[in-house]
Amino acid sequence: MSEFFHRKIERNAMGFALAIVVVASIGGLVEIAPLFTINETVEDAPDMRVYTPLELAGRNIYIREGCYACHSQMIRTLRDEVERYGPYSLAVESKYDHPMLWGSKRTGPDLARLGEKYSDAWHVAHLINPRDVVPESVMPKYGWLMRNELKLDDLGAHLAAQRAVGVPYTQDMIDNAAKDAYGQAMPDSEASAGVTERYGEATHVRNFGGDPGRVTEMDALVAYLQILGRLTETAYKQATVVPAED
């Protein structure tokens, strides 16, 4: 019966084309329909801020080095995940991530709540030689990040590209991108004041890589790691809400 049905429909060009349209429409409906309720499913986060130029540069390095292949950035609502990593991930936390780095591959731990969990020095030591701080680690070494000077002159273009896909960078942020990246890693420089002015008082302004004389790729990557899960405090606030008693 099944063979007869397939033979019949495959010999009818119009019917076969219509069947393809119907099946494709079902798949499209499943993917597209939820977008109509996007405003209801994405949480409100008034304190949400954008990545600074230094943090965005660190994110680009994170992607370049393939870190996302072994680390996810999406804590699921399962109890064991919440107990290990912290509050489960909210949709709004990835609002300014292009591309998003959720993933499901965990050769290493999930990093969605990594921000401020360890010191800058720990991250630097870990990236230079993971076995120095986690003896059982299988992570490769990234010591060259300490030697590589961070390229600053194209950061404005990176911010402009992000603005083109909806990230609310202002023209002032774009024009001062290189200066702000330098100032965030050089807290004693005149450029550091502009960072908090444009990105808020909660912005981390310090030398992340441990070399106060240079802005390196290590500075950028550590700055990015230290902000993971901290662009908004919404998830932490929700996790501390105690249900009202009846």
Superfamily of domain 53-237: Cytochrome c-like domain (1.10.760.10)
What pTM did the predictor assign? 0.84
Does 40 have pLDDT greater than 90?
no
Q: Which position has the higher pLDDT, 5 or 13? A: 13
Length of the chain counted residue by residue: 246
In Å, what is the CA distance from 90 to each residue of 40, 67, 112, 214? Answer: 13, 21, 10, 36
On the question of pLDDT at 179 being above 60, the answer is yes
CA end-to-end span of the chain: 60
- Write out pLDDT tens, residues 89-116: 999 999 999 999 998 889 999 999 999 9
Q: What is the mean pLDDT of residues 71-84?
A: 94
Q: How confident is the model at residue 1 (pLDDT cuts 50, 70, 90)?
A: low
Q: What is the pLDDT, as a whole number, of residue 59?
A: 98
What pLDDT does residue 4 have? 66
Q: Show me where the domains of the chain are located.
A: 2-41, 53-237
What's the confidence (pLDDT) of residue 5? 67
What percent of the chain has pLDDT above 90?
74
Q: How confident is the model at residue 38 (pLDDT cuts 50, 70, 90)?
A: low
The predicted pLDDT at position 69 comes to 94
- Residue 190 pLDDT more than 60? yes
pLDDT for 127 equals: 98
Which three-class secondary structure state does DSSP give residue 221? helix
Mean pLDDT of the 190-212 span: 95
Write down the pLDDT at residue 24: 87
Q: How far apart are CA 7 and CA 30, in angstroms?
A: 29
Q: Compute CA distances 17 → 3, 7, 13, 23, 68, whole Å.
A: 18, 14, 6, 10, 40
Mean pLDDT across the chain: 91
